[in-house]
Amino acid sequence: MYSTVLLPTDGSEGAAVGVDVGLRLAARHDATVHALFVIDERYVRREYDHVVEKAEREAEAALDAVGDRADEIGVRVEKHVRWGVPHEEILAAIDAYGADLVTMGTHGRTGIDRLVHLGSVTERVVRLAPVQVLTVPLGRRSSDD
């Protein structure tokens, strides 16, 4: 059903939930997996070496966590770091890696908090992606997904 799964991560607990579900789906469908960390260039200026190094360490740690989880369930992952605006880079990565599914965690916001955060990365990807986007709310870690 799916041949290539894109797993964006920012290293957060919410992202980890989406990664976990995506890895299990990939294992079930013998799909290729691309883990992606986007360094938001709106907030990380490339002119400052120490800031770039810190951002790259954070990206590496987040992608290593995906790789460790993938190893646990026997899925091979290709890791990618891109610079740019997160939702734009995720959308570009869909095309670049030929993804037919994106799996992303959500923070599970409701009510007024959801309205305040309406422009979230996940919501933008859901609205603009040319492929299916599976969103997984925080707290959803059942092994029966």
Identify the structural domains of the chain with CATH numbers, from first to last.
4-137 (3.40.50.620)
Share of the chain above pLDDT 70, in %: 87
Task: Return all residues near 107 (Cβ < 8 A) that are at least 6 apart.
Answer: 14, 117, 120, 137, 138
Element (H, E) at 49: helix 49-73
Task: Return all residues near 51 (Cβ < 8 A) that are at least 6 apart.
Answer: 44, 45
> Is pLDDT larger for residue 16 or for residue 109?
16
pLDDT computed for residue 8 by the predictor: 98
| Statement: the pTM of the whole predicted model exceeds 0.75 | yes
pLDDT in tens, 71-126: 999 999 999 999 999 999 999 999 999 999 999 998 655 554 544 444 589 999 99
Q: What confidence category does residue 144 fall into, taking pLDDT thresholds of 50, 70 and 90?
A: very low
What backbone phi and psi angles, to 5 degrees, belong to 11?
85, 0
The mean pLDDT of 44-71, rounded to a whole number, is: 94
Q: Helix 86-97 crosses helix 121-128 at what angle (to 10 degrees)?
A: 40
Whether pLDDT at 70 is above 90: yes
Q: In terms of Cα–Cα distance, which of 60, 85, 69, 70 is closest to 31? A: 70
Distances (CA, A) of 141 to 13, 19, 73, 103, 124: 11, 10, 15, 14, 23
pLDDT computed for residue 115 by the predictor: 46
Radius of gyration (C-alpha) of the chain in whole angstroms:
15
Whether pLDDT at 140 is above 90: no
Task: Calculate the average pLDDT of the chain.
Answer: 89
Which range, 21-35, 36-50, 96-110, has the best average confidence (pLDDT)?
A: 21-35
